[in-house]
Amino acid sequence: MVATQLPLCPEILLYLVSSQTPDSQPIQNNIAQLMESPPYWALCWAGGQVLARYILDNPQVVAGKHVVDFGAGSGVVAIAAAMAGANSVLACDCDLDAIIAIEENATLNAVEPGMIKPVTSIEWAEQQFDLIFAADLLYDSKNLPLLTQFMQAANQD
């Protein structure tokens, strides 16, 4: 993993997989192993990067709010929300390696400890929040029912 400056968000650094593995073997040699358990958290998907850019350019969207980044992966959206003045950020991802990546990436970006709380389940829906971000979630149609859950959670007042 290499600390990488993002093309659309140069103010954010993320530990991402590079084109070379630590032993200088091309990553293509390891592609089968990677596909067994895809490290979604080791890449910065386009939708997450664009959403992070939007948040950084429009901090009033998150300033002072309680934010959820669902399917957080590397944590790019959560980090952008924290940098833009969110009151608190839950970064939800079911992959335990993603939770570690979110914590490491938050530290890399000097996000105040505790500002981003990584969680592994949707149990956060019992809590109060103002915004849910879910970038790059609908690539798999099995995730569509989550939209209904988000709407139900958003309508709890």
Domain ranges of the chain: 2-154
CATH of 2-154, one of 3.40.50.150, 3.40.630.30, 3.90.1150.10, 3.20.20.140: 3.40.50.150
Q: Give the burial class of 70: count Cβ atoms within 10 A of its Cβ; 0-12 exposed, 13-18 middle, 19 or more buried.
A: buried
Read off the tokens for 83.
Answer: 């940098």
Q: How far apart are CA 69 and CA 122, in angstroms?
A: 11
2-5 and 13-16: which strand pairing? Answer: antiparallel
Rg of the chain over Cα atoms, rounded to whole angstroms, equals 16
* Mean pLDDT within 36-50: 82
34 — pLDDT class (breaks 50, 70, 90): low
Give residue-wise pLDDT tens across range 128-152. Answer: 789 999 887 777 788 888 888 887 7
pLDDT score at 21:
47
More confident residue, 47 or 86: 86
Q: What is the pTM of this model?
A: 0.85
pLDDT score at 26:
56
* Mean pLDDT within 14-39: 65
Asked if residue 108 has pLDDT above 80, the reply is: yes
Q: How far apart are CA 41 and CA 98, in angstroms?
A: 5
Percent of the chain with pLDDT over 90: 57
Asked if residue 98 has pLDDT above 50, the reply is: yes
Q: Which is nearest to 49 in space by CA: 17, 18, 80?
A: 80
Residue owning tokens 């630590």: 22
Question: In degrees to the nearest 10, what's the CA dihedral of 74, 78, 80, 82?
Answer: -140
Phi, psi of 83 (to 5 degrees): -65, -30
52 — pLDDT class (breaks 50, 70, 90): very high
More confident residue, 2 or 123: 2
Q: Which is nearest to 119 in space by CA: 110, 132, 136?
A: 132
81 — pLDDT class (breaks 50, 70, 90): very high
Q: How far apart are CA 31 and CA 34, in angstroms?
A: 5
More confident residue, 51 or 123: 51
pLDDT score at 119:
93
